[in-house]
């Protein structure tokens, strides 16, 4: 009973989180600031750090706010179980690769084509759930996944405007690179999500301990990425250049995303996660149209 409640609560929070993240990011991009823009690589690191900190707080709460119990759990479950901890390096490394692939995809494809193609992850997730978790899906379930994928793809379908200058600049070669990147990202999203689900559901450790393990690797990979991409800029203007109130909101929402996705994977599953994020794509499109008035639906 409690777990059914948690299932719908986590799915509801995921819809809220994804919708507000998209809208805040969109709003922060249209806002004209005067200083340098914040570094995306730095935002990733800060979000990862916030996520670990919150998970440590949740483990602390689960152990009646005892500092001694907290440090003993962290030592026992993380330091003294290096193999269990190392298992999380796999999804963490794949997520890091995926986040970079999506960057490659967005640099070579227009945003709408990217969004439409990325919906294929709904199907890859279902395929990995069947092959790795032995889940069985009936004809109607496969059919609803296909309809969901087609529906979300249609909502995002690019308007057919021949005079779109952005589109003309994209050569066939770069479109191919973008397409390959997004297709690999669809596979990695499905695999990493289902791998994390398998670890959560087949072992006894708490979801928050698992998330700390995942986040630790994410933090290390993120710091490497940040120094490799933006090392020079950080030396000049620091890691927090261009941060404002909105940046902190985006970072906090991103950190919340990691926590909620973990809860959704634990209490529901990756397939339901796909439904929740699709619902939020439709919601943010509607809000964007009615409130921000910046979306023109195609006919
Ligand atoms: O597109 P997809 O649903 O695969 O994206 C999942 C995102 O959630 C990734 O960016 C990943 O870094 C993040 N994540 C997380 N914590 C988890 C699981 C996923 O931060 N436990």
Q: Pick the closest to residue 207 from 199, 217, 195 (CA basis).
A: 199
258 lines ligand 1 (CB under 6 A): yes
With the most atoms of ligand 1 within 8 angstroms of its CB, the residue from 54, 58, 95, 119 to mutate is 95
pLDDT at 252: 94
d(CA 107, CA 47): 23
* CA of residue 242 to ligand 1 center, whole Å: 25
191 lines ligand 1 (CB under 6 A): no
211 lines ligand 1 (CB under 6 A): yes
- The CA dihedral of 263, 19, 251, 51, to the nearest 10 degrees, is 0
The pLDDT profile of the chain, 299 residues, written as one tens digit per residue, is 678 899 999 999 999 998 888 778 777 766 656 677 788 889 889 999 999 999 999 999 999 999 999 999 999 999 999 999 999 999 999 998 888 888 788 788 877 778 788 888 999 999 999 999 999 999 998 998 898 888 888 877 766 555 555 555 667 778 889 899 999 999 999 999 999 999 999 988 899 999 999 999 999 999 999 999 899 999 999 999 989 888 899 899 989 999 999 999 999 999 999 988 888 888 877 887 777 665 555 54
| First and final C-alpha spacing in the chain | 44
With the most atoms of ligand 1 within 8 angstroms of its CB, the residue from 53, 114, 257, 268 to mutate is 257
In ligand 1, the atom with minimum distance to the C-alpha of 218 is: 12
d(CA 93, CA 98): 9
* CA of residue 164 to ligand 1 center, whole Å: 32
DSSP of 76-136:
IIIIS-HHHHHHTHHHHHHHHHHHHHHHHHHHHS-HHHHHHHHTTHHHHHHHHHHHHH---
∠ CA 20-288-17, rounded to 5°: 15
d(CA 197, CA 87): 12
Alpha-helical regions (H) of the chain: 2-30, 40-62, 67-74, 82-87, 89-108, 111-118, 121-133, 139-155, 165-169, 172-202, 207-237, 245-267, 270-290
Kindly report the protein residue whose alpha carbon is nearest to atom 12 of ligand 1.
Answer: 95
* CA of residue 14 to ligand 1 center, whole Å: 12
pLDDT at 230: 93
274 lines ligand 1 (CB under 6 A): no
């Amino acid at each position: 009973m409690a777990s059914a409640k948690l299932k719908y609560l986590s799915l509801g929070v995921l819809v809220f989180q994804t919708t507000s993240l998209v809208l805040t990011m969109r709003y922060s991009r249209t806002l004209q600031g005067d200083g340098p823009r914040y570094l995306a690589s730095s935002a990733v690191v800060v979000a990862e750090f916030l996520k670990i900190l919150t998970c440590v707080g949740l483990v602390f709460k689960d152990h009646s706010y005892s500092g001694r119990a907290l440090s003993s759990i962290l030592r026992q479950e993380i330091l003294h179980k290096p193999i269990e901890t190392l298992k999380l390096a796999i999804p963490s490394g794949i997520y890091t690769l995926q986040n970079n692939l999506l960057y490659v995809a967005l640099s070579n494809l227009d945003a709408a084509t990217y969004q439409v193609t990325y919906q294929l992850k709904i199907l890859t997730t279902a395929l990995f759930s069947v092959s790795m978790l032995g889940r069985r899906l009936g004809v109607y379930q496969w059919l609803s996944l296909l309809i969901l994928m087609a529906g979300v793809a249609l909502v995002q379908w690019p308007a057919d405007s021949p005079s779109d200058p952005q589109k003309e600049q994209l050569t066939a070669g770069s479109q191919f690179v973008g397409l390959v990147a997004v297709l690999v990202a669809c596979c990695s999203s499905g695999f990493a999500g289902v791998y994390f689900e398998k670890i959560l559901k087949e072992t006894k450790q708490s979801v928050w301990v698992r998330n700390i393990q995942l986040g630790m690797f994410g933090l290390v990979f993120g710091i490497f990425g940040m120094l490799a991409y933006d090392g020079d800029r950080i030396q000049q203007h620091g890691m927090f250049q261009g941060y404002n109130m909105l940046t902190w909101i985006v970072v906090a929402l991103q950190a919340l995303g990691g926590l909620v996705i973990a809860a959704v994977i634990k209490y529901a599953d990756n397939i339901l996660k796909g439904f929740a994020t699709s619902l939020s794509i439709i919601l943010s499109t509607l809000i964007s149209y009615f409130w921000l008035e910046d979306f023109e639906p195609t006919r």
